Amino acid sequence: MAKRPHARSLLIALCAALCAAGAAIAQPQYPSPTLGEATRVMRTPTGAPAPVDMIAKVMRRVDLDDYRLPGEGDYCAALQRAHDAIPGGAIHLPVGVVQLGTSSQACQIEWTRPIRLVGQGWSETHVSGSVIYIPAPPVGWNGAATFHVTSTAARGSVFSGFSIRQDQPPPAAGWTPTVYPPVWSLSNTAGGVIITDLLAAPVYDLVRADLSGRLEVSHIRGQVLHSVVAVDRSYDSDRYDAWHIWPYWSSHASVRDWQQSNLVAMTLGRVDTPFVDRIFMIWGRTLLAASGSANGVPSKIKAGALACDGCYKAVTVSANNVTGSIASLMWQGRTRPRLPASARRDPAAARLTCRASRRA
């Protein structure tokens, strides 16, 4: 009878095969610690050779620099290639600036797989960590988001551990921001996607979601100018937790005045049982707007601690039959000049507005 292979022999053979495959891959060069595209060194001179793709499918972990081709001016195409190369797992951002898009070509990544996009952390001084830089969209851009997360196959995606910077005009009298599409647009995921541990430095709109469900947006820091989250048709318990929205980028009076007239941190359309807790915002129009939509109204809102400083209103309810509870609400109103008549609904600027009708 032939001898069965010994387990140790099989292990040695497997290790030898993996070592041989590894030897075929060029030794990586690591990025320069200096920020900026001009000083960055790519890990491989020719993009992603076949052995890298083979190991990526086994290990399900890739480095973004391995997918950037010579001569590419930004990382948009490289990130799409890295996403398309693995069925799931993680894409690791390098330390430094990762530019997505140019002044003449906006970037949109189609995200359709359960992949984690993981940065190397962030710093409030921009001297370390991973920074996603999104230039101002070109004139005529159709408004699509930078990350379009779509289909149920994308459930399980996580975006974490980096800062996001968008171009804005220098603060001055009469300041108005450059309008950007949201960084993330979620559609038809109908399940869990997590966006967490981010610094907005600054960001115009962060997340817009339709037909999501079990969406988590948590541990968000920095200056969001117009909207953190706007969500509709979410039928299964989103979670919005641990936001600290403050004038990280600019505390100029004109920026403050614009935000107090326009910034709505959270807009809820048809949403069931969202959990909301540990949210702080300074200088905004409204922290939580239960506005409803043509698809229905928010129901069973479960809010813990909300705090809004220097805000026009903390919470607005502008639809019938909204239900929910808030355990703790701190509101400190505007101490600056009043909003212009065109921007305010009522001169009293009440802390809580509610229009409700008797339920049958």
Question: Residue 179: its pLDDT value, please?
Answer: 95
Question: Residue 326: its pLDDT value, please?
Answer: 97
267 Cβ contact partners less than 8 Å away, ≥ 6 residues apart: 227, 229, 230, 231, 289, 291
CB < 8 Å & 24+ apart, contacts of 76-84? 76/100, 76/101, 76/105, 76/107, 76/109, 79/109, 80/109, 80/110, 81/47, 81/48, 82/48, 83/109, 83/110, 83/111, 83/113, 83/115
Yes or no: say if 260 and 336 are a contact pair by the CB < 8 Å rule.
yes
Question: Residue 157: its pLDDT value, please?
Answer: 98
For 267-307, the pLDDT digits (tens) are 999 999 999 999 999 999 999 999 999 999 999 999 999 99
For 146-193, the pLDDT digits (tens) are 999 999 999 999 999 999 999 999 999 999 999 999 999 999 999 999
**Could you tell me the pLDDT band of residue 346, with boundaries at 50, 70 and 90?**
very low
> Six-digit token pair at 160?
């974490």
The β-bridge relationship of strands 147-150 and 275-290 is: unpaired
Question: Residue 55: its pLDDT value, please?
Answer: 54
Residue 8: HSE in the Cβ half-sphere, 13 Å Cα cutoff:
0
pLDDT above 70 as % of the chain: 76
Separation CA 214–CA 228 (nearest Å): 17
Hey, is 73 helix, strand or coil? coil
Burial 300-314 (b: 16+ CB within 10 A, else e): ebebeebbbbbbbbb
Question: Residue 235: its pLDDT value, please?
Answer: 95
For 206-251, the pLDDT digits (tens) are 999 999 999 999 999 999 999 999 999 999 999 999 999 999 999 9
For 137-147, the pLDDT digits (tens) are 888 787 789 99
pTM of the model: 0.79
